[in-house]
Homo-oligomer: A and B are copies of this chain.
Amino acid sequence: MFESTVAAARRVRQGRGTMAEGVAMPKVVDHQQRKRELVEATWRIIARRGLSGATMRQIAAEAGFANGSLKPYFPTKAELIEATYAFVFDRTNRRVAVATRGLDGMAALEAFCREVLPLDVDRLDEARVVISFWQEAAHDPRGSELNNASMAQWRHSMATWMGQAREAGDLDAAIDIPSSGDVLLNFMLGSQISAVIDSAATSPADLERQLAAQLAHLRAAG
């Protein structure tokens, strides 16, 4: 799996950068900061123009780098694109961690779904990047590994929250947790496509209604 930006930042904070002597620390942090700036520029460009429109030249311009000066940070375009996809997963997961803090059961499940669904402009941009990513991951084992590790983590979280809801008597007794979790996951993946491509038929309010309808199916009656 690709190194996440969070893991990279942690490694740097712990002094485990490639140049570990004290005097070199600011340089390492600066290097990580600049990688992060490039990843954010790449994310914005893929969201706006698609993957084929994201050239190294345009990414450099967007990030305020001189053309040709990206090599020390990302030797190849493939590495930069990989880091960008990892960044988007990471960004969603950090938002989920905040939104679900202190919650469990159905409340946590709903909060999670609301962070994954493209309900605002920012998450619509994430959806655009994710759609580009899927096209790559369909033919690239490194991409599918990144995707599948994230999806396994999401399935595990959803099953945990549904298990808590069952304990609390909040889940319909007839629910098969793995299948219902997968339906919800596939619904949220498909929503990224509908919200980006078929936006006139898929407003945030439409997605809110769909999520409410689906969660109502899972809840115990009464």
Q: List 13 A-B contacts (CB under 8 A).
A: A134-B193, A135-B135, A138-B196, A147-B197, A148-B200, A152-B201, A182-B194, A183-B210, A183-B214, A186-B186, A189-B194, A190-B190, A217-B217
Q: A49 near B139 (CB under 8 angstroms)?
A: yes
Main secondary structure of the interface of A (DSSP, over half): helix
Query: B182, A202: Cβ atoms under 8 Å?
Result: yes
For residue A155, CB closer than 8 A to chain B, the reply is yes
Q: Is A32 in the interface zone, CB < 8 Å from B?
A: no
Please, how many residues of chain A have a CB less than 8 angstroms from a CB on the other chain?
50
> Which residues from B are CB-within-8-Å of A200?
148
Q: Which residues of B contact A131 (CB under 8 A)?
A: 134-135, 138
A135 to B136, CA, bound (A): 10
Q: Is A180 an interface residue (CB 8 A)?
A: yes
Chain B proximity of A81: nearest CB distance (Å): 12
